[in-house]
C-alpha cells in the first residue's frame, strides 16, 4: 500500500473525483432520508412550546399507550429471547431431521409483511377463525386485547435473537460444550458457565434489536389491536391516531418518545458493539481456532 507512486494510476476507488462523488451521494441520502425526518420530529414536537409537549405526553391516552407498549415489550422480549436461545441451541448443537427447514421457517417473519401476520392472526383467533368460538366460549379474549398485541409482536420479532446467535454458535462449534461435559459439568452448568458467557454480547445485541422492533411494531399490531383509544392502542398506533385527529404537535410529541427509545437502543447497540470489539483482549470466541491474537511469550 505504501507503493502508491505519483505516476501510477489509482487503484479502484482511489480516484479523487470518484471518492468525492460517492461520499456526496451517500451523505446527501443519509441527510435527506434519515437525519432530516428525525430533526423534524424534534422540532415539531416542541412547535407549540414545551408546555404543550408536556400536556401531550401527560394525556391519559398517551400515557396508557406508552404503558401498553412497555408491557408488551416486557412480555414479548423475554419470551422471544428464550425462544431465540433455544432455537439457536437446537440448530447449532444438535442434529435432527428437518433442521434446515426450521432454520428457514424461523426467518419467515423477516420476509413476510407484518400486516399479513396480523391478518392471519385474525383468521386463527377471530370470531370467524379456527379457535374463535372455542375462545369465546371460554371467555378468553385474544384479539383486540393485550394477548393479541403480544402475539403479533412476537411473530414479527421471533427471528431477531436466533439470527444473532446462530452464526456465532455455529462458528464456535460443539468443542467447548463437549469439553465442559467431559470435565463433569451438567447440562445446565455447561450452558450457564460455558455457552452463555461466550454468546452474551450477541444475545444482548439480539435482545436490543428485538426490543426496539417490538416497541415500534405497527402493521401487525394495528390489525389485531382494534385501535381502542386508552385500551389497546400502543404507542405507534397512538401516534397515527393523533395524527388523524389533526393533532400534529401531539403526534410528534408521542413520536419523539418513540424516537427517544430508539436513541437509547442505538446507544445500547453501540456500547454492545464496543464490547464485541473488546473481546480481542478478552480473547475471541474461538479459543482454539488459531492465532487471531499474536503469540505472547512468557
Partner 1 sequence: MKIRLDNVVKEFETFRAVHGVSLDIESGELVALLGPSGSGKTTILRMVAGLEYADAGAIYFGTENATDIPVRDRGVGFVFQHYALFPHMTVGENIAFGMKVSKVKRSPQAIAERVKELLDLVQLSGLKDRFPGQISGGQRQRVALARALAVDPRVLLLDEPFGALDANVRRDLRRWLRKIHDELGITTLFVTHDQEEALDLADRVVILNKGRIVQEGTPEAVCRNPADAFVMNFLGDANRLDADIRGGKAYVEDIAFDADGIADGGGEILFRPADVTWREDGQGIAAKIVRVIDRPDSRRVLAMTGNGQPVEFDTAPEFPHRKGEAGFLQIRRPRVYAAA
Q: Which residues bind partner 1 (CB under 8 A)?
A: 175-176, 178-186, 189, 193-194, 197-198, 280-293, 295-298
Shortest distance (Å) from residue 253 CB to partner 1: 44
3-state secondary structure 228-240: CCCCCCCHHHHHH
**In this complex, which beta carbon is closest to partner 1, that of residue 128 or of residue 291?**
291
**In this complex, which beta carbon is closest to partner 1, that of residue 55 or of residue 284?**
284
Distances (CA, A) of 252 to 54, 115, 249, 256, 290: 12, 24, 5, 6, 53
Shortest distance (Å) from residue 210 CB to partner 1: 24
Shortest distance (Å) from residue 272 CB to partner 1: 16
- Judged by DSSP in three states, 42 sits in helix
What would the DSSP string read from start to end of 167-220?
HHHHHH-SHHHHHHHHTT--HHHHIIIIIHHHHHHHHHHHHHHHHHHHHH--HH
Distance CA 160, CA 205 (A): 9
**In this complex, which beta carbon is closest to partner 1, that of residue 79 or of residue 185?**
185
Shortest distance (Å) from residue 290 CB to partner 1: 6
Distance CA 159, CA 103 (A): 10
Q: Which residue has the cell 396508557?
A: 64
Shortest distance (Å) from residue 211 CB to partner 1: 25
**In this complex, which beta carbon is closest to partner 1, that of residue 54 or of residue 288?**
288
Neighbours of 249 (CB within 10 A): 18
**In this complex, which beta carbon is closest to partner 1, that of residue 60 or of residue 298?**
298
Amino acid at each position: 500500500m505504501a507503493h502508491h507512486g505519483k505516476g501510477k494510476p489509482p487503484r479502484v476507488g482511489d480516484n479523487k473525483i470518484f471518492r468525492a462523488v460517492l461520499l456526496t451521494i451517500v451523505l446527501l441520502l443519509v441527510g435527506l432520508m434519515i437525519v432530516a425526518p428525525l430533526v423534524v420530529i424534534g422540532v415539531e414536537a416542541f412547535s407549540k412550546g414545551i408546555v404543550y409537549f408536556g400536556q401531550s405526553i401527560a394525556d391519559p391516552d398517551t400515557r396508557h399507550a406508552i404503558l401498553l407498549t412497555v408491557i408488551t415489550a416486557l412480555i414479548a422480549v423475554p419470551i422471544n429471547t428464550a425462544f431465540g436461545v433455544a432455537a439457536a441451541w437446537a440448530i447449532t448443537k444438535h442434529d435432527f431431521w428437518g433442521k434446515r427447514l426450521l432454520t428457514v421457517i424461523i426467518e419467515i417473519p423477516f420476509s413476510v409483511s407484518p400486516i399479513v401476520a396480523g391478518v392471519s392472526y385474525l383468521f386463527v383467533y377471530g370470531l370467524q377463525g379456527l379457535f374463535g368460538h372455542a375462545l369465546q366460549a371460554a371467555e378468553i379474549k385474544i384479539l383486540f386485547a393485550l394477548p393479541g398485541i403480544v402475539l403479533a409482536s412476537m411473530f414479527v420479532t421471533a427471528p431477531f435473537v436466533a439470527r444473532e446467535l446462530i452464526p456465532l454458535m455455529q462458528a464456535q462449534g460443539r468443542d467447548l460444550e463437549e469439553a465442559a461435559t467431559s470435565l463433569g459439568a451438567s447440562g445446565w452448568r455447561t450452558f450457564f458457565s460455558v455457552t452463555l458467557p461466550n454468546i452474551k454480547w450477541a444475545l444482548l445485541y439480539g435482545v436490543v434489536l428485538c426490543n426496539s422492533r417490538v416497541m415500534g411494531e405497527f402493521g401487525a399490531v394495528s390489525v389485531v389491536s382494534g385501535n381502542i383509544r386508552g385500551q389497546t392502542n400502543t404507542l405507534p398506533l397512538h401516534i397515527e391516531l393523533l395524527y388523524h385527529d389533526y393533532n400534529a404537535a401531539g403526534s410528534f410529541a408521542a413520536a419523539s418518545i418513540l424516537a427517544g427509545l430508539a436513541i437509547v437502543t442505538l446507544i445500547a447497540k453501540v456500547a454492545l458493539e464496543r464490547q464485541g470489539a473488546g473481546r480481542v483482549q478478552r480473547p475471541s470466541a474461538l479459543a482454539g481456532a488459531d492465532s487471531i491474537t499474536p503469540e505472547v511469550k512468557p
